[in-house]
Each structure stands twice: as structure tokens, then as C-alpha cells.
A and B are shown apart, each in its own frame.
Chain A
Amino acid sequence: MNLTKEIGILLRKEMTIEWRQKHALGGILLYVISTVFVVYTAIKGVQPNVWNALFWIVILFASVNALVKSFVQENSSRQLYYYTIANPTAIILSKIIYNSGLLFLLTLLSYGAFILFAGNPVKDVGQFFLAMFLGSVGFSISFTFVAAISAKANNSSTLMAILSFPIVIPIILTLLKLSSNALRLMQDSSISKDIMTLVAIDVLMIATAFILFPFLWRD
């Protein structure tokens, strides 16, 4: 069985499982909306720079909560079954692709919720969408890999936060810069360099994840 076909099947499996456990997805959506609402009531009249920071903080926490279950939602005997039949590269790649899609959807919904409650200060929509997309991919790679690590440990939810937050800081900082340009909080002529930096971090992390995941998976 070739890799792309295997990834396709695994992706369909992920979606089926998500569909069967609708409460997980619904819980995350409710989490985002209530967080945005709390932010809105706490700071009335959100300034664009605060909007920008809060947006990415809400996305960060929502992403951690959404992805912490990546490797624990299925029981260990089923994990063993996947281990015997599937290629570890296909497994990590399908998880990353699926989680990227999920996070991008989540980001779009949060953006909608922010527009609804806190207004829309975004001036360059195309660039903001690019930032949201690259951010989802970067978060997905690092959080999926860390979720795989913390799933093997005893107290996984605490570990997830302490292991992943320092790792995503380069991504967050680049995203903040990119999106503050999209909000016209600052004028940056070297925006393509920022995008390249973000892509380079993503590539570095995905390469490390590919090499290391087979060792993690073996149990």
C-alpha cells in the first residue's frame, strides 16, 4: 500500500472518529466562543493591538485543548492495531494534516466570533488569512508531536502545556508580526521574509517530527 493511499484512509478514519464524538468538537467551539465573550466583557472597546494579541492567545489555548486528545482518544489496544498495520510516517502525517484542517477551521470560527463581539480591525484580509493558515499548520505540527510525547507520560494534560508553549513561541512571535502588518499596526517592507521564516520553522519542525516519530511510536 503506498503512502498517499494510506494517509487518505487514515484521514477518513480521523474524520469518522471526530464525527462519532461530536461532543469534543462542540466543546472546543463553545470554549472559543465563551473565551471571546469573556474577553469582550472584560475589555470593552478592544483596541486593534489588544485585539491582535488576544486573538492569537485565544487560538493558542483553543489549539492546545483541541489537540491534547490526538493520541489519547483511542484506547491502547486500538493503537497497537494501528501500530501493526500502518507506517508511522503515514500516521504522523495524517494526524498533522487532519489537525491543521481542524485548527484552520477553529481559527476561522474564532475570527468570526471576534468580528461579532469585538469588531474587525483587519485591513489586509488576504494577508491575515495567510497568517491564520500558516499559524494553523505550525501549531498543528508542534502540538501534534508534543501530544504524541505527552500521551506516553502519566500526567499528559499538564505536560502538554509545559512542553509545547516554549516550543511554539517562535511561531507565535512571527505570527504576531505578520498579523500586526495585516492590521496596519505597523508597516513592514520585509513581510515576505517573515513568511519565509514561518515556513522555515514549519519545515524544520516537520522534518524533526518525521525522523523522531518512529522512535516515539514504537512501544
Chain B
Amino acid sequence: MRKYWWKILGVFLIVYSFTMGLLVPLKPGIAYFEPGATQAGKAYEMTITGYNTFYTKATAAPRVWLKYDSVHMLIADRVEVLGDRQLKARFNLPGSLPTEKQVAVTSLIIDDDYNGFAVKPGSVFITADSSLQEISIGKAAWGKTEVSGVHEKDQFNFPYRVQLSETIRNLYYHVPFWFAMFIIFIAGITQSVQYLRTNNPEYDYKSMSFTMVGTLFGVIGLITGMIWAKDTWGTYWTWKEVKMNMTAIALLVYFAYFILRQSFDDDERRARISAVYSIFAFAAMIALLYVVPRMVSSLHPGSGGNPALGADDLDNSMRLVFYPAIIGWTLFGVWLTSLIYRMQMVRERIYDQ
């Protein structure tokens, strides 16, 4: 039991990441609304559709704001609850905008005591009235109210993002596979280096087992990424996405490694040359995955202003599932490696007899 604690920990963390990742609901959010554009000086009535919301359970009708910047915002005059998912909000827009520009882009904010606080940034487009009015009027009219007394909910929920919606959960399956793959490939490389230093065939088998598991994780990471891409970008495979293509090439390098291993009769030679190739290929893969993607624009998170794992993008509730998932899959990968390694050793022993 004391010897196998890490296997138990790995399985526990994977089960934990699956249950938490799939069962925890998303935060209430704003799915969509219409109309998305209006004109200054008119009454603006919008129907809002929420996501995971229960507007009827709130004790008072929700408050709805249109926010231009930190001091300029409008509150809805009348908010009508049509159902758990539907709201009708009515604004009396002043005749002038708080800006000199022709269009003001405002964020939609909804708050009530049951569902808490939800924002949809940069969503309502208000065009200026053609008969030009003083900006100071607009500034005064927009500056009367402020977003205050909002209900911050402390429930354990994952954030709601319009484009991702429920697929945000894929973060716990797609990304940890990449992290685990990298850790396992690095472990494989150190075994290759050990082999070249000592010529002990055990290290060769260890290196091969690590590479096998790393390649498997890479394939799974690619497949889960493709499923995610189908949902968010609308296609399984795109040539515009450089990380995806570079990854496919990196996997080709590792498939070539296994073909290389097949083409030797002599064990010692196979061990030595495949160790040399795996180190060389790893150096090439660093160029492939870390240099080239920085050069071209990409759809993938982490490049070109897209959100990724930065402090603003990864919610604390997500960290609580995401980091354990990485550790869990890494431990699982090491376990799988040790099984493959022992199988190889048994096979060798049978051949020797």
C-alpha cells in the first residue's frame, strides 16, 4: 500500500477531475438578446435570454445596466421577468452619447439576488442621433447611476463564456493531456541520455515505453482538441491553425521513431540509434511547437490576443479541477509506462529461454 500510493493518488485525481469536471454547473450567464443595436434618443426594449438562470426565483426583479465605461452607464427603467430564462428590459436612451464617436459599444450587466451578477461585454451597439447634440448632455444623462450592491455568489461554479458554453469543461481533458505528454516525453529523453551514458539496455526499454505513452497522450490530446475545434471553430481540422498542424507533424516524428526501431536486427544498435534519434527529434520538436507558432497568427488560445491560461482567463474554480487533472494524468502515464516496460522485460526473458 505504501509503495503504490502514487497509483492510488493518480486514479483518485482522475476520478475527481471527471466527476467535478462533468457535474459542476456553469455560472448563470447571458446567452443572447435582441435587438443588438439601437439609436440614441429612442426607447430601447430588449429581450434577454439567460443561461442556467432562474429569474423567477429572485425576490426582486433583476436590475439591468448598459455600461459604457466606469462612470457612464444607464439602468433599465422597467424589467419584466417572462420566465426562468427570459427577461424583458426597457431603456429610455438619452438623445446623446457619452462619447464623440458615432457609435458607443456598451456592456450588458444583469444582477439579482438569486442568480448573482452576469456581464456580457461589448455587446449593445448604440448609434448617435443624426441631429447632433451636446456631448455634455449625454455625459450627464449617462452618469446618473452606478453599478452598486451587486450580489457576488460564492457557489462553486465554472464560468460561463458565450463562445465556449459547456465545452469549457474540455479544458480538464484536452489541456492536461498536453502537459502530461510533455512531462512524459521529457522523462523519455532523460532515459535516452541515461542509455547513451551507461549502455544499459534497461534504459532503452524505459525510454521506449515513455515515448509510447507520450505518443498515445499526444494522439488523445489531438482528438479532444479536434472535438473542441468542431464546436468552437466549426471544423475538425483547419490549415489556419498552426499549433494543430505542428502537433500533427510532431506526432509524425514520433511515429517515425517507432518505424526506425523496427528496422534494426541488432538490439544494441537499435537501442543506441533510436536513443540518438529521439533526442534529435525532441530538439526539433521544441522548434516545432515553441518557435514556429509564435511566428504566425493563430486561432488557438494563447496566441493573437485569444484567452488562454493567464490569470484573467482561468477562474479559481477551474484551477481546482485543472491542476489535479494534470497531476492525475501524469501519474497515470507513469503507471502505464511501468506496465509497458515490465511487459517488454517479460517478453525479452521469454525470448531468451
Contact = CB atoms under 8 A, between A and B. Distances in A.
Interface of A: 142, 145, 149, 152-155, 159, 162-163, 165-167, 169-170, 173-174, 177, 194, 197, 200-201, 204-205, 208-209, 212, 215-216, 218-219
B311 interface: no
A57 to B, nearest CB: 16
Interface stretch (B57-65, B99-107, B122-130, B255-263): B255-263
B227 to A, nearest CB: 24
A167 B295 contact: no
A149 B252 contact: no
Contact of A208 (B246, B272, B280): B280
A149 B265 contact: no
B288 A212 contact: no
Given A166-B256, A170-B292, A197-B291, A215 B263 contact: no
B281 interface: yes
Given A153-B264, A170-B284, A205-B283, A197 B259 contact: no
A212 B292 contact: no
A197 B273 contact: no
A174 to B, nearest CB: 7
Contacts of A166: 249-250, 252-253, 256, 284, 288
Interface of B is mostly: helix
A209 B249 CA distance: 21
Contacts of B277: 149, 163
Nearest to B289: A170
Given A166-B256, A170-B287, A212 B280 contact: yes
B279 interface: yes
Interface of B: 196, 246, 249-250, 252-253, 256, 259-260, 263-265, 269, 272-273, 275-277, 279-281, 283-284, 286-288, 291-292, 295-296
Contacts of A208: 279-280, 283
A197 B284 contact: no
A107 to B, nearest CB: 22
25 contacts: A142-B284, A149-B280, A152-B264, A152-B269, A153-B263, A154-B263, A154-B264, A162-B256, A165-B252, A166-B252, A166-B288, A167-B284, A169-B246, A169-B292, A170-B287, A173-B292, A173-B295, A174-B292, A174-B295, A177-B295, A204-B286, A208-B280, A215-B272, A216-B272, A216-B273
Contacts, number: 83
Given A153-B263, A154-B265, A159-B259, A170 B288 contact: yes
Nearest to B265: A154
Contacts of B281: 167
A169 B285 CA distance: 10
A86 to B, nearest CB: 19
A145 B284 contact: no
Contact of B287 (A149, A159, A201): A201
B292 to A, nearest CB: 5
A71 to B, nearest CB: 12
B288 A169 contact: yes
Contacts of B288: 166, 169-170
A177 B280 CA distance: 25
A162 B259 contact: yes
B295 A212 contact: no
B252 A209 contact: no
B291 A155 contact: no
Contacts of B265: 154
Contact of B279 (A159, A177, A212): A212
A8 B284 CA distance: 29
B279 A152 contact: no
A148 B280 CA distance: 12
Given A162-B256, A166-B288, 12 more contacts: A145-B280, A152-B264, A153-B263, A153-B264, A155-B263, A166-B256, A166-B284, A167-B281, A201-B287, A205-B284, A212-B280, A215-B272
